[in-house]
Structure formats: structure tokens, C-alpha cells
Amino acid sequence: MFSKTIPLEKGSKKLINAWASYDWANSAYSLVISSAIFPIYYGSLFSEIKTISFFGSQIKYSAMISFITAFAFIVISVITPILSGVADYIGDKKKFMRFFVFLGSISCIGLYWFDLNTIYLGLTFYFLTLIGFWTSVTFYNSYLPDIAYPGQQNRASARGYSMGYIGSVILLLFNLSMVMNPDFYGITGTKTEASMIAMKYSFISVGIWWALFSQISFFYLPKGNHSNKISKDVFWNGFKELKIVLDQLMDNLRLKRFLIAFFLYSMSLQTVLLIATYFGEAEIQWANSTEKTIGLIVSILLIQIVAIFGAIITARASERFGNLPVLIVINIIWALLCIRAFYIHTPADFYLIAGFVGMVMGGLQSLSRATYSKYIPSTKDTASFFSFYSVTEKVAIIIGMIMFGAVDQITGSMRNSILFFALFFIAGVILLLRVPKLQD
């Protein structure tokens, strides 16, 4: 398919584009599975049965998905520091990234068999998709300082998110056409049955898309920076590398304070993004199930399209005003959006919020990644440093999803949880103000 030449030079446009192409590959999962079709499919499965029996307890279905997600991130938080340290030691983080890509993509295909008779099997596949996606992204993010110089990293990071939004929208439009017109694709049954089958086919399409397009990145990205061989001590060496990284983090005031701020606002950001569609499915007053399906997918498309421009605008703004001031402004906007979301009930309100979410969603993620990349010290062991970034994000998600699920289970409404998370965006603003400035 490709003809391999000499390794691409750091900072080259071709290498940066090859790196960013993994966003194109994996964002199909972020959009179709995390945000759009799977939440609608999951909600439809439990349209009549609202609870899941779990070890003798009845758990609300929306709370259950929060708890499963939290448990997945506990596992991710444990394995990523170990694997990142090992990957840096043996100099082959690409191998680890490839393994988790295939774990995630195959598990996406496995979601085809998720129904009321196989709830636990389906939740297991969903659990494994989370493991595959987020662990592979840890290794992917760690390549940023390897493929781009500091002055290129804001735009490179934004390019990745923009390519992801474009690619995922293309696949979602195809899947949407299947869901809304199943007869055209030869999918038979009643309108509801055929649409549900089409949603299952969309899970297969995500797995294939993810595995296929990731090969571009795997072909061009460098293997690693060391040539150490695997030995019986390799895991202990991984821990030693992590200890070295931890010591450097403790001595770096700027990086330490940034990570604390990042932890707090990520707790809100990632939780809100993970449950946004479940919120729209349960809390918005749709006229009927067809309007709900179309409305939710259209809102997700709106978010993705607007996010393309949001990531680009954020990168340009950061070059003019600096990373920290722009991050502070975006966090303020997010806090206001959470407060406003507490009061929305109509589809029109949901679309309006979706537009604003798209504008600031990619910007906060992209700029946070680029800012961290600039703040870490010069090192070849980028996977270990980015494992800390990943663990910080994942622990935040664990706490966020558990808190969201608990409030949802206790109060019976997601609105209270959304309002609660505005506080963490505000806390993020306060802590970002305390980060020593860097000429960026």
C-alpha cells in the first residue's frame, strides 16, 4: 500500500500529518460510540426497562454506564503508567499503541451482539472499547513532542483534532443514512427494528474504520528512542522511569500547578462529554422517538462541525494571547454552559448549547495537550511523561463519572450533576491563574 523511504524528519509536514491521521482514525469511536449512535442505541434498549440487575441491586441504566466507564478508567489508570514506562525503556511504544488499537476496534465490532439478552457481554465489549481507545491515545499523545518542535505543537495538536472531527463526521453521516433509511441498505424489519440493526452495523463500521486508518500513523511514526531488550527486570525499570518522571514533576512548579488545574477541569470536561448524549436522550422533551434519534445525531454533528473551527481558532488565539489566558477563558465559558444546561428542556435549547459546546470542546482538549507538551522538560522518554498526563485525566474521569452516577442514582435526574460540575471549571480557572507564565 505504501512504499517506505527514509524516516521522516521531526517537524516535517508529512510526519505531522501522519501523526494527526490517528485522530482521523480514532475519532470515529469518540463520535459514534461515545457520543452519538451507541448512547441512542443503549437508551432505546432500556426504553421500557429502566434498571439493570447487578449483584442483587437494581441500578438505573444511565448510572450503570457511568459506573462501567469509571471502572474502565480505574484499569486504564493502573496500566498506562506501567506500559508507558516499559515502552520508553524498550523503545517501542508503537507496538503498545498498535495492540490497544486492535483491542478497541475488535471490541467495537463485538458491540454488534449487545442486546437485552446479552447485557453483560455487551457491557464487557463497551468496557474493552474504553480500554483500547484511551490507552492507545496515551501513546499517541506522547508522540507530539517527538514529531513537532515547540513552536509547531499548538497547530499540530489542533490539526489532529480537526482531522478527527472531519473524519468522524464523514463516517457518522454514512451511519446516519443507514439508521434513517435502512431499507436502502437492504435492512428489513419494522422501522424501529431495522434502525436498531443499522445502529449495530455502525458499530462494525467504527471498528473497521479505526483499525484501517490507524495504519497510516503506524507506517510513518518512529518506533522509539532506545534499543533496550526485554528482560525480567523490564517492569521494574518501567517503575524506575516513572519515579524519575515523578521527581521531575515535583521539582517543576509550572508543570505541577498546571496538572492540578488540568485535573480539576478535566473532571468536568470529560464527564460532561461522555454523558452529553445520555443527558439529551433522557432530559430533553422530544416529540417522539424518531425526532429524538434525528435530533441527537444532528446535535452531535453540529458539535463536531463547529469544533473543527473551534480548535483552529483556539490555536490561533493561543499564538496571539498565550496558552494560559485562552485556557482560562474557555474554562469560564464551560462553567456558564453547565449552568445554562441545568435549565434547558426543548430541542432548540439543546441545539444552541451543542453549538457552544462544539466551539470550546476541541479547543480545551487540544490546547491542554499542547500546553503540557511545552511544559515537560526536554526528554526522550515522552511516553512516561504523557502517561502522567493520561493518568491525571483518567483519575479525573473516574471521580467525575462516579460522582455523576451517584447524583443521578440518588436524585433521579442528570441536571443536578451537570450543575455540580460547573464548580470544577471555576476551580480550574482559579488554579490556572496560579500557573507561572511561559513564553509560548
Any domain includes 340? yes
pTM as predicted = 0.74
**CATH code where residue 390 lies:** 1.20.1250.20
Any domain includes 236? no
Number of domains making up the chain: 1
Any domain includes 196? yes
Any domain includes 381? yes
Q: Is 416 left (phi over 0), alpha (psi -120 to 50) or beta?
A: alpha
Per the CB < 8 A criterion, the answer to whether 49 and 384 are in contact is no
Any domain includes 246? no
CA-CA distance, 377 to 356, in Å (whole number)? 35
Any domain includes 376? yes
pLDDT of residue 210: 96
Q: What is each CA distance from 237 to 127, 298, 339, in whole angstroms?
A: 29, 49, 46
pLDDT tens sequence for the chain (440 residues) = 444 445 677 778 888 888 888 989 998 898 888 877 888 888 888 877 777 777 777 787 777 888 888 889 888 888 877 776 676 666 677 888 899 999 999 999 999 999 888 889 999 999 999 999 988 988 888 788 778 877 777 778 778 877 887 888 889 889 988 988 899 999 988 888 898 899 999 999 999 999 999 998 888 887 665 555 555 556 666 566 667 777 777 778 888 889 889 988 988 888 887 777 778 877 888 877 777 877 888 887 787 778 778 877 888 888 888 889 999 999 999 999 889 988 888 888 888 888 888 888 767 877 888 888 888 877 656 667 777 777 778 788 888 888 877 777 777 777 887 888 888 899 999 999 988 876 54
Per the CB < 8 A criterion, the answer to whether 67 and 401 are in contact is yes
Query: Which residue range forms the structural domain that includes residue 183?
Result: 13-222+254-432
Any domain includes 156? yes
CA-CA distance, 347 to 345, in Å (whole number)? 7
Any domain includes 362? yes
310-349 burial, b at 16+ Cβ within 10 Å, e below that, comes to: bbbbbbebbeeebbbebbbbbbebbbebbebbbebeebee
